[in-house]
Structure 1
Amino acid sequence: MILGTLIAKDDTWVLWAIIIVWATISLFLEQRFQWASTISGAIIALVGAMLLSNFKVIPTSSPVYDTVWDYVVPLSIPLLLFSSNILKIWKESRRLLIIFFIASVGTMIGTTVAFLVLHQWIPYLNKIGAMMTGSYIGGGVNFAALSSKFETPSEIVSSAVVADNSVMALYFMLLIAMPSLPWIKKFFKTDYHETNSPEMQQSYWQPKKIQLLDIAFSIASAIALVAVSFKAAELIQQFVPKSNMLFTVIVSFFGDQYLLLTTLTLIVVAIWGDFFEKLAGASEIGTFLIYIFFVVIGTPASFATIISTAPLLFIFVIIILVFNLGLSLLLGKVFHFKIEEILLASNATAGGPTTAAALAIGKGWTGLVGPILIIGTLGYVIGNYAGTLMYQLLSSMT
C-alpha cells in the first residue's frame, strides 16, 4: 500500500500558499543572513521543497506545479528582459561587452568539453548542457526557460541546480580573492585599489520607488508579449511548411515559443527604450517568479537521485567554469583588459548581473557597477539562443 501525502495534489490553495511562502522565506534568508547568501536562496528554495515532498508533506506532482511551468516561467522572461536595451548596451559598455562575449564563448567551449568527457555517465546531458549554457551566459531565467522547453526530468533539473549553486558559491569566493593574488597583480593591470565602505555598498542597494502603474504596466506588457509570442509560434508551426532548409530554419527559430518571446521582447524594448527604462519593479517581480520556479523543481526530486547524480554534475559545472575563466584571463591578457573587467565579465556570465554588481561594489570598483549591470542583462537575451544552439550541437555528438 502506497501512503499518500499530508496535502493532496488537488489542494490548490494550500499548495500555492506553501510554494509562495517558502519562496519568500528563501529570499528573506538570502538577503538577511550571510550563511544563506553563501548557500543561495535558490538552494534553500529547492532543498526546502525536497524535504517537504520526500517526507510526504506535499505531493511530487500537481496541476499547481504544471501552472508554474506553463505560465509563471514564461511570464518571468519578459519581466527580466525589460532592462535589456541592446542599443544602450552597445553605446555605453562596448569594452565590457567584448570580454563578456569572450567569457560566453568560454562557457560554450567548456560545456562541449565537459559533455564529451562525461556524457556516457550522466543521463540527459545534452539537455543539461544546454540549460547550463543558458544559465552561464544569462541566468536563472534562461535555465528555467530551457528546462521547460526541453522537458528535462525534474529530478535531473534539481540535481543540476544543486551542483550549479554549490559550485557558484565557491566560484564567487575565488573571484573575490583573485585580485589580491600575487601572480594576478604581476600579470594584469587594474584601475582600482582595494577600497570599500559600508556606505558605498548601501548607496547602490537603496530601495526603489515603485508606483502602482509600474506594476500594472510591467505585468500587462509581460502577459501581452507572452500571449503574442506563444500564439505566433503556434501559428508558424501550424502553417509554415517545412519543404526546404530555409523554411525548416524559420520554423525551428520563430516557431520556438521561448526564442520568439525573447526576440519580440528585445525588439519592443529597443523601440520603446525610454518607457521600459523608467518602469520600476519589473526585474524584482521577475526574480520572485524565478524563486517560485526553484521551489517547484524541488518537489519531485528524491534525495537518492540527487546523491547519485549531483557529484558528476559538480565536475561538469567545474569544467565549464574553468574554461569560462581560463579563456577570459588568456584573451583578456592578450587584448589588454584590466583584471576587474575580466573578473566581472566572467561573474556576469556565470552568476548573472546582480552577483557581478555585488562583486564590483564589494571590491570598490564603483565605475563598473552600472556597466556590468547593463552587460549582465544582455546574457538574459542571448542565453536562450546559445542554449538552443548548444542543445543541437551536443545532440549531434551522441
Structure 2
Amino acid sequence: MFTSTLTIAAVLAALIALSEWLATRTWLRHFGAALLVIVLTAIVANLGVIPTYGPDTPLYGAIFTYVAPLGIFWLLLLVDLRSLGQVGGPTLLLFLLGACGTALGAAAGHWVVGGADALGEQHAALAGMFTGTYVGGSVNYNAVALEYGVMEDAALYAGAAAVDNAMTTVWMVVCVTLPRLLVGFWPKAENQEERVAHGPIEDDGEVMRIFDLAVVIALGIAAVSLSDVLADSLKESAGLDIPSVLILSTLALVLAQLPMVQRIKGARLLGLLAVYLFLAVIGSLCDAEALMRMGELAPVLGVFVVVLVSVHGTVVFGAARLLKADLETASVASQANIGGGTSALALARSLGRSDLELPAILVGSAGLALGNYLGFTMVGLLGG
C-alpha cells in the first residue's frame, strides 16, 4: 500500500487522468469523468493500493478543507450573473422538497427496520445523522454524532460513515443515468432536446500564461482565507453562524462580474482539477472493511438508508414531474441534498448543464444550515 502523501497524491492524479481518458475515448463517456473518478478511487482504495479515508491520511483532510473550497471559488469565477435567468428558482424549490423527502425517508426507514430493536440505543442519533448528511453534508453528520456520543463507538461510527458514502456514490450513478433513462417518458421542457444532445462538457482546454495562473491561485487562496476569517468574525461579534462557503461564493460572484477578472484564464482548469480531487476523496470514503466490522448491523443500516433515499428520490422526481421541471434540474437538486454542493456541481457539468453550476453550489451551501436543524429535529422526534 502507498502511504506517503506524495505517492497518494500521484495515484489520485493518475486516476483523474484515467477517468478523463475513459470519459472522452470510450463508451464510459456516458457516465462522465466525475463519476468515474469516484468509482475508480473506491476500487483502488478497497484493493489496498492507497488507504481509505482516515486520520492517517492528512492529504484527504487537506483536500476537503482547502482544495474543495478553492475549486468552488475558481469555477464560480466563470459565472456571469446576467446570464442565469430564472434557473435558480426550480432548483431551490426541488432542493427544499428533497430535504423534506430526506426527513420523511429517515422516519420511514427507521420504522421499516424496526427502530431501536434493530439499530440499538443510538437509533435516534443514527437517523438524525443520516438526515443531516443527506440534506447538508458530512458537517451535519458529524455534528449530530458528536452531540450524542456516536463517535465513542468507533465501529458503529466508521461503519455508518461507510454506508453513507457508499450510498452517496450509488446516488451519483442514479442522478447521472436517470435523465437519460427517463427522457422518453418525461414532458419536454423548453430546449430539452438541445440540452440532452450536448452531453457532458468535455472541452475544458484553456490557453493561459504564467501570469494568469499565478493570479488565479493567489485570488483563490486569499478568498478562502478571507472567507474563513469573516465567518469567524461574524460569529464572534454578531452571533451570526454563516457558513464560510457562502461568504466564499459571494466573493467569487462579485469578482466574476469584473471585466479584468473575466479576462484571466486558468480558473476553469484549476477548478475542475480541484473538484476531481475532492471527488476522489469521496471515493476513498467507501470502505468495505468498515462495513464488515459492523457485523449484523450493516445490512440493517443498509436497508434503512435505501428506504431513506428511495423516499427522497420519489419526492424530488415526483415533484419535478408535477412542476414540469426538467430531469437534469431534478437530478442536480437531489445530488445537492445527498452529496452536497460540490458533487452537484460536478454532476451539472457531467450532464452538460453549465447553467446549473451556480444553483448547485448555492443550494448545497444552504443545506449546510438546514441539515443541522433537520438532523437534530429528527433525533428529538424519535426519542433521542
Compute the TM-score of the two structures, normalised by the length of structure 1: 0.69
Aligned to 2:126: 124
Structure 1 residue 160, shift from structure 2 partner: 1.8
- 165, 169, 172: which one pairs with 1:165? 169
Gaps of 5+ in 2: 146-150, 152-156, 336-343
Aligned to 1:263: 246
Cα distance in structure 1, aligned partners of 2:193 and 2:226: 49
Please give the root-mean-square deviation of Cα atoms over the aligned residues, in Å.
3.9
Q: From the superposition, tell whether residues 192 and 273 of structure 1 become closer, same or farther in structure 2 (CA, over 3 Å).
A: closer
Aligned to 1:42: 38
Letter in structure 1 aligned against 2:61: W
Q: From the superposition, tell whether residues 113 and 62 of structure 1 become closer, same or farther in structure 2 (CA, over 3 Å).
A: closer
Structure 1 residue 103, shift from structure 2 partner: 0.8
Aligned to 1:102: 93
Aligned to 2:65: 73
Cα distance in structure 1, aligned partners of 2:51 and 2:354: 42
Q: From the superposition, tell whether residues 356 and 19 of structure 1 become closer, same or farther in structure 2 (CA, over 3 Å).
A: closer
Letter in structure 2 aligned against 1:266: S
Q: From the superposition, tell whether residues 291 and 375 of structure 1 become closer, same or farther in structure 2 (CA, over 3 Å).
A: closer
The answer (yes or no) to whether the contact 2:75–2:271 under 8 Å persists in 1 is yes
Identity between Structure 1 and Structure 2 (%): 10
Aligned to 2:202: 205
Q: From the superposition, tell whether residues 227 and 197 of structure 1 become closer, same or farther in structure 2 (CA, over 3 Å).
A: closer
1:187-198 superposed matches below 5 A: 188=187, 190-192=189-191
Cα distance in structure 2, aligned partners of 1:230 and 1:163: 30
Gaps of 5+ in 1: 1-5, 135-142, 241-246, 362-368
Letter in structure 1 aligned against 2:90: I
Aligned to 1:318: 310
Q: Which moves more between the two structures, 304-313 or 204-213?
A: 304-313
- 234, 257, 261: which one pairs with 1:274? 257
Q: From the superposition, tell whether residues 111 and 374 of structure 1 become closer, same or farther in structure 2 (CA, over 3 Å).
A: same
Cα distance in structure 2, aligned partners of 1:23 and 1:193: 30
Deviation digits for residues 272-310 of structure 1 (CA, Å, limit 9, x no counterpart):
223555543242132122034225424685341585343
Aligned to 1:393: 377
Q: Which moves more between the two structures, 297-306 or 43-52?
A: 297-306
1:371 aligns with 2:362: no
1:175 aligns with 2:190: no
Aligned to 1:225: 223
Q: From the superposition, tell whether residues 315 and 209 of structure 1 become closer, same or farther in structure 2 (CA, over 3 Å).
A: same
Task: Name the SS for the 1:42 alignment partner.
Answer: helix
Q: From the superposition, tell whether residues 100 and 233 of structure 1 become closer, same or farther in structure 2 (CA, over 3 Å).
A: closer
Aligned to 1:346: 330
Aligned to 2:273: 285
Compute the TM-score of the two structures, normalised by the length of structure 2: 0.71
Q: From the superposition, tell whether residues 159 and 88 of structure 1 become closer, same or farther in structure 2 (CA, over 3 Å).
A: same
Q: From the superposition, tell whether residues 263 and 22 of structure 1 become closer, same or farther in structure 2 (CA, over 3 Å).
A: same
Letter in structure 2 aligned against 1:270: L
